[in-house]
Amino acid sequence: MDARGTGTGTGTGTGTGTGTIVARLRAAGCVFAEEEAQLFVAEAHDAEELEQFLARRVAGEPVEYILGWAQFRGLRVVVAPGVFVPRLRTGIVVREALRVLPAVPREGAASAPGTFHGSGRSPDAGGVGSFLDSPTPVVLDLCCGAGAIGAAILAARPDTEVHAVDIDPAATKCARRTLDAVWSGRPSAYAEPTPFAVTGSAAPGGADLGGADPGGAGLGGADPGGADPGGADPGGAESGSANLGADPGSADLAGTGSPDACRPDAASSRAVTVPHVHTGDLYAPLPASLRGRVDVITANAPYVPTEDIRLMPPEAREHEALAALDGGSDGLDLQRRVAEGAAEWLAAGGHVIIETSRRQAVATAGILEAAGFAAVIVRDDEVDGTAVVATAGGVTGR
Ligand SMILES: C[S@@+](CC[C@H](N)C(=O)[O-])C[C@H]1O[C@@H](n2cnc3c(N)ncnc32)[C@H](O)[C@@H]1O
């Protein structure tokens, strides 16, 4: 909607002029009041909805839950209340996955059932048992949350077969919507970058100063609640943490259309396989046919030590599900289980990429090495991201 009004509010009224909105947000402690005001005005259908947005925000609800989406690497990722809001720093996992993914179909694996070459529709509509010997690269995103990692990989590599798993049905519902939208190539899947989103906007107090930090980054990440006591910055998520982008056309990642099982990739004419989203505990819900076929396992599993959760900014600790944050006493419980189970699912020479914090990176690498992988710690200062890239068979590619 258009922002109209005098813009002379003091922060205490309920006006919808831009100046009034900014003042109200600022009074509520929103560091990125101007940017949020722009977003709310752009996204609200009418003055009543705008007022609802503002009331929720002033009450402390994360921007992403109010809008129903977060921006991640140029995509609008659907998020619902309680579902982990994708953080910009997780872009490092996508970057590394794209780096290690096979560039071309594996030799000798052409024309498998369940893949499609040419135009038209796949005959077997994506049954999970139909992907044996697929020539397409296969990515398994464990602890997928809203599906950001898989969606970003699929957007960059539409030839990839993506499987995403989360234990939380609310998360997999979001992931399915986002992955389907990207897969089906709906323009609505894409968010325009904004001046205040994505890179260069890391939280000043923010992410990964050595602590478990599934909280941080975001749209600009000033972290009013996220002071970093003793470097355990599980926060970084700030009031206004949004990974957001102004893309009014894209409000319907939520779109209702369900994709066909396979569609031709115009660029390569290679098969493009429908993404699969599974609800359950790590590897448990996966089809047996996936064993030994996965090229890359990605995991941004919860990695905040239980004791540090209380240090996280309220937007994370009060609004995101505990299961999305709590990594156990040292934060590494889920990472151990990811590492232990990986070999069974990976193809020869496959990779495991796990997001971690600077403080925990050596321990994460040790976990992967103990599971028989060669592990390398990687950093992206631009998004303040840390990850460990592990390779089966001892070759890291670096
Ligand atoms: C830190 S969030 C990351 C979400 C997503 N990968 C991202 O980067 O935005 C961790 C996710 O792990 C999920 N999770 C926790 N325990 C799990 C388990 N045992 N199996 C599968 N998913 C799990 C949570 O529900 C949550 O969505």
For 345-393, write each residue's pLDDT tens digit: 999 999 999 999 999 999 999 999 999 999 999 999 999 999 999 998 7
Task: Indicate whether residue 114 lines ligand 1 (CB < 6 A).
Answer: no
Flag whether pLDDT at 129 surpasses 70.
no
More confident residue, 283 or 272: 283
Q: Which residues pair with 389 in a beta bridge?
A: 353, 376
**How far apart (Å, rounded) are the C-alpha atoms in residues 244 and 27?**
21
How far does the chain reach from its first CA to its final CA, in angstroms? 49
**How far apart (Å, rounded) are the C-alpha atoms in residues 36 and 28?**
12
Q: What length is written for the chain?
A: 398
Residues 199-241: tens digit of each pLDDT: 222 222 223 323 334 433 333 232 222 222 223 333 333 333 3
* pLDDT given for residue 17 in this prediction: 79
Q: Which domains does the chain have, with CATH numbers?
A: 1-59 (no CATH), 84-188+256-392 (3.40.50.150)
Flag whether pLDDT at 339 surpasses 80.
yes
Residue pointed to by tokens 């992988």: 373
Q: From 166, 278, 353, give the residue whose CB has the most ligand 1 atoms within 8 Å, as the site to mutate.
A: 166
Sequence-separated (6 or more) residues with CB below 8 Å from residue 379:
92, 358, 385, 386
Flag whether pLDDT at 134 surpasses 50.
no
Is the CB of residue 301 less than 8 Å from the CB of residue 340? no
* pLDDT given for residue 284 in this prediction: 98
Q: Fill in the amino acid letter for 377.
A: I
Q: Phi and psi for 278 in degrees, rounded to 5?
A: -120, 140
Task: Indicate whether residue 300 lines ligand 1 (CB < 6 A).
Answer: yes
Flag whether pLDDT at 111 surpasses 50.
no
More confident residue, 124 or 99: 99
Q: What is the mean pLDDT of residues 325-335?
A: 98
Strand runs labelled E in 220-293 = 262-264, 271-273, 276-279
* pLDDT given for residue 185 in this prediction: 82
3-state DSSP assignment of residue 169? helix
Task: Indicate whether residue 93 lines ligand 1 (CB < 6 A).
Answer: no
Flag whether pLDDT at 116 surpasses 90.
no
Atom of ligand 1 nearest to the CA of 77: 9
Mean pLDDT for the chain overall? 75
Is the CB of residue 69 less than 8 Å from the CB of residue 251? yes
Strand runs labelled E in the chain = 69-72, 75-78, 138-142, 161-166, 262-264, 271-273, 276-279, 294-299, 346-356, 373-380, 385-392
Q: From 84, 303, 325, give the residue whose CB has the most ligand 1 atoms within 8 Å, as the site to mutate.
A: 84
What distance in angstroms lies between residue 216's CA and the mean position of ligand 1's atoms?
16
pLDDT interval class at 103 (50, 70, 90)? confident
Nearest to 338 by CA among 298, 374, 372: 298
Nearest to 148 by CA among 240, 85, 81: 85
User: How do strand 346-356 and strand 294-299 relate by DSSP bridges?
Assistant: parallel
- Select, from the ranges 126-130, 210-214, 331-335, 394-398, the one with the highest average predicted confidence (pLDDT): 331-335
pTM for the full model?
0.77
